């Protein structure tokens, strides 16, 4: 209950044309103090005084966002009084004028937003934008992946394996290094992930049954294989009919230092060469394309290949 004193103060708050106009605007959407000065063309001190009184009687609430305050109609008993006043004055010319001002404000915001993106379009890809990371994008896209049985051949740091586990019913992580597998197990346990099977083995001679997986992923693994063709043949063997293969590799390059420092056996692959390896391994619907170029020297280029078992 509002009470007699509260009702008197509420009626007093509603007895001012400018406060009624502010309430009418706030009933349509949340607005900042600056917006509430601009639309009805009121001074800052007047708007502040009106808002303070409307907040005091429980008609308006505010929230802080950085240095700005935003106002909206407050829920509660007091709002019922305002709704009745609003219904009785819906066609008032003052309301119509303020609604037109609100529409003009919305249109100006739209124009400013469009102008910003038009201005930065040419350099947008080089901007440092909050939340835009390859990992975030990969995790989002993986939510569209089928919930199936995945095999990750050559797990590396295990990051991709952990992401696959979020979408998969089961992930078989295959690697020659017991330490790599142990690190993955530790990270998976810390994240509460329990659908990863760790398998120590050679990706050129997989210790996995025929037709046991729906999707096989080989990310930056083929250039470590002595015989990439054998790895692809093995990948096809463990796929079910209609299963899919995803290969992420390096485009052919001339950086010899990766052989000793990173244990690369092959200096990447050409698009044609990788495509031929996949076809010769018995895959169909083969597609190979350049996906990304490292921004830092020596600017390694990433190849992505997809294929399927008939």
Give the model confidence (pLDDT) of 223-260 as tens digits: 999 999 999 999 999 999 999 999 999 999 999 999 98
When pLDDT is cut at 50, 70 and 90, the band that residue 114 belongs to is confident
Q: H or E element: which one contains 45?
A: helix 44-56
**Strands, E assignment, 147-186:** 149-153, 170-175
Rg (CA), the chain: 31
> What are the tens digits of pLDDT across the range 14-30?
788 888 888 888 888 89
Closest CA to 89 of 164, 185, 14, 34: 14
> CA 175 to CA 153: how far, in whole Å?
7
> CA 57 to CA 74: how far, in whole Å?
10
Q: What percent of the chain has pLDDT over 70?
A: 90
Q: Side by side, which strands form the sheet with 60-65?
A: 31-32, 68-73, 60-65
Q: State residue 187 phi and psi, 5-degree precision.
A: -70, -40
pLDDT at 125 over 60: no
Q: State residue 64 phi and psi, 5-degree precision.
A: -95, 140
Mean pLDDT of the chain: 87
> CA 147 to CA 131: how far, in whole Å?
26
> CA 247 to CA 289: how far, in whole Å?
11
């Amino acid at each position: 209950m509002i009470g007699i004193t509260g009702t008197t103060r509420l009626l007093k708050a509603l007895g001012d044309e400018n406060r009624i106009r502010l309430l009418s605007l706030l009933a349509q959407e949340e607005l900042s103090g600056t917006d509430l000065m601009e639309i009805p063309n009121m001074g800052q001190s007047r708007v502040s005084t009106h808002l303070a009184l409307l907040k005091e009687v429980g008609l308006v609430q505010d929230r802080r966002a950085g240095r700005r305050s935003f106002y909206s109609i407050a829920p509660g008993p007091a709002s019922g009084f305002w709704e009745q006043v609003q219904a009785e004055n819906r066609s008032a010319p003052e309301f119509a004028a303020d609604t037109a001002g609100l529409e003009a404000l919305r249109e100006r915001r739209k124009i400013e937003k469009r102008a910003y993106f038009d201005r930065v379009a040419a350099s947008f890809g080089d901007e440092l934008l909050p939340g835009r990371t390859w990992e975030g994008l990969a995790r989002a896209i993986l939510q569209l992946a089928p919930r199936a049985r995945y095999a990750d051949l050559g797990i590396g740091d295990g990051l991709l394996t952990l992401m696959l586990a979020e979408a998969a019913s089961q992930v078989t992580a295959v690697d020659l290094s017991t330490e790599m597998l142990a690190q993955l197990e530790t990270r998976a346990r810390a994240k509460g992930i329990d659908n990863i099977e760790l398998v120590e083995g050679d990706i050129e001679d997989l210790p996995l049954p025929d037709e046991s997986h729906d999707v096989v992923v080989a990310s930056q693994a083929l250039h470590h294989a002595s015989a990439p063709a054998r790895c692809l043949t093995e990948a096809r063997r463990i796929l079910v009919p209609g299963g899919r293969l995803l290969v992420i590799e390096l485009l052919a390059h001339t950086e010899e230092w990766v052989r000793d420092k990173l244990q690369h056996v092959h200096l990447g692959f050409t698009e044609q060469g990788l495509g031929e390896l996949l076809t010769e391994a018995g895959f169909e619907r083969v597609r190979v394309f350049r996906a990304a170029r490292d921004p830092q020297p020596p600017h390694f280029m990433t190849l992505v290949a997809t294929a399927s078992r008939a």
